[in-house]
Amino acid sequence: MSGYYTKLRARRTYRWEGKPTSEDRKLKRRYYGSLSIAVDRRPAEAVVSVGQYILIEGHDDDNPFVAQLLKLFCDDNGNKKAEVQWFVRMCEIHQNKRKLLGRSPHPQEVFYYQDRSCDNEVDAETILGSVQVCVYKAAPTTPRTPRHATPSIPTRSLPARKPENVLEEARARLHVSSVPESLPCREQEFQDIYSFVESKIMDGTGGCMYISGVPGTGKTATVHEVIRSLLQAAEQDEIPHFRFIEINGMRMTDPHQAYVQILQKLTDQKATADHAAALLEKRFSMPAPKKETTVLLVDELDLLWTRKQNVMYNLFDWPTRRHARLVVLTIANTMDLPERIMMNRVASRLGLTRMSFQPYNFKQLQQIITSRLNRVKAFEEDALQLISRKVAALSGDARRCLDICRRATEICEHSGQQGGTKLVGMSHVMEALDEMFSSSYITAIRCASLQEQLFLRAVIAEFRRLGLEEATFQQVFVQHQGLCRMEGLQPISVSEGLAVCQRLGACRLLLLEPSRLDLLLRVRLNVSQDDVLYALKAD
């Protein structure tokens, strides 16, 4: 809804139509129906009544705020207040939305302001007087949420070099950096994340979603597509406008740099980490008129770990502030990271919404490869199925699956130059698999003793049980004893287990973090779980 206003500028004094009595002051609010304003050089007082359009003092004397008067009342302290419905000028509207008007606006044209973030209570002393607003259009929009949609990916701005043959085209399409036409097998996750963020933007509230899953399961790609769809909806005026900023823990030399990057992307202001943290604390704690929602994506959250855990805690805590209007989407590989950095009751109070991306199964991996190829016939059906099953059995990492496919096309192309087949077959895939899993680490695993191999299996078993990428020696040792019994072997002692762990650490298959107690030694893998499982299965 929009309209035109006529200016009313003059010096004035005001008075209520009647004053609240001492008994009235005992009430929380005393409501009035009108306000009298005495204007210089005019014989009669101007009366502003509920329902009228009014002008309110602003930062620019030539362009006061325009609003509709909804209520007049006194608060607990006897201060005279007014509740209003705001209107905005074209200059106050975001640049992306101005083009939606489809015409040049009138200099005095104003538009109905629906954003709930703006404080709609003002001091009565700021009212300048009444104003005439001629309404000529009312077309409220109802937000549309895409239902049962397959998230799509925008096309490239510049076309890639045209491939010379089918295998080269397939290799280009299967590259991890290639922009696919869609993101299959993540429709439900896309819908859940979209609905969560959309509801927060519409309600003018804040919230935090913790998204976890092993690498290569489409977490970041799905969130990016959700944001793209929401920004498109905001440009079409289907939802209120919001700001989107993104930080990545992998791109920071120190976790506290997160404060610096967030502040700079929000305000273009540079500050030290401590000063930026204080400014962000104030920004997300204090109310502000016409404050728009901020959507913050924090990728690789695991890397923002600090001894005091204050960085992660603030990222989880800020969205709970009443006036923050902050939606935080965090992405990590660790399933229970929030509980590890704070007590369970605190984590419960913060009200995190969780989303877990499960590893792809072989059918989903096969569908991903097929959708990427997009009717480019480069693989034999059995070859695709072999790659999908092999990767699904190890980790379900789509990126590893694409890497193997690309290497298989290179092997096939090389054999084709020597008179071989033009389609990627089983032999090419087997050769690619052998190459992808033939590192020195795999050789070391294959040459390790039986107890050392069992210990590596115990490490992976414990990681999967915890949903983490690290565990204590004590936790792994319990798994190791169970595996020994399953294999019909005599369980080893704690000291023998520590010796096995130390030998694996010495050859850099494990990363060990010292502790005052050997049982609490932190254990992490220095190779991918895929490599370990592949080496052990080969045996």
Taking only the tens place, the pLDDT of each residue in 262-306 is 999 999 999 999 999 999 999 999 888 778 999 999 998 877 876
Q: What is the mean pLDDT of the chain?
A: 81
Name, of 73-77, 147-151, 420-424, the range with top average pLDDT.
73-77
Asked if residue 329 lies in contact with residue 209, where contact means CB atoms within 8 angstroms, the answer is yes
> Which pLDDT does position 230 carry in this prediction?
95
Measured in degrees and rounded to the nearest 5, phi and psi for residue 212 equal -130, 160
Asked if residue 254 lies in contact with residue 261, where contact means CB atoms within 8 angstroms, the answer is no
Edge-to-edge strand ranges of the sheet holding 207-213: 242-248, 293-299, 326-332, 207-213, 353-357
Q: Which residues pair with 138 in a beta bridge?
A: none
**pLDDT tens per residue, range 8-35:** 444 455 555 555 444 444 444 556 666 6
Strand extents, DSSP E, 276-389:
293-299, 326-332, 353-357
Tell whether the model's pLDDT for residue 123 goes beyond 60: yes
Give the residue-averaged pLDDT of 190-198. 95
Tell whether the model's pLDDT for residue 1 goes beyond 60: no
Per-residue pLDDT band at 153 (split at 50, 70, 90): low
How many residues comprise the chain?
539
For 500, residues 6+ apart whose C-beta sits below 8 A from its C-beta are 449, 451, 452, 455, 492
> Which pLDDT does position 253 carry in this prediction?
80
d(CA 244, CA 234): 12
Give the residue-averaged pLDDT of 332-341. 73
Residue 143: Cβ within 10 Å count: 15
Give the residue-averaged pLDDT of 477-490. 90
Give the residue-averaged pLDDT of 480-503. 91
Asked if residue 525 lies in contact with residue 444, where contact means CB atoms within 8 angstroms, the answer is no
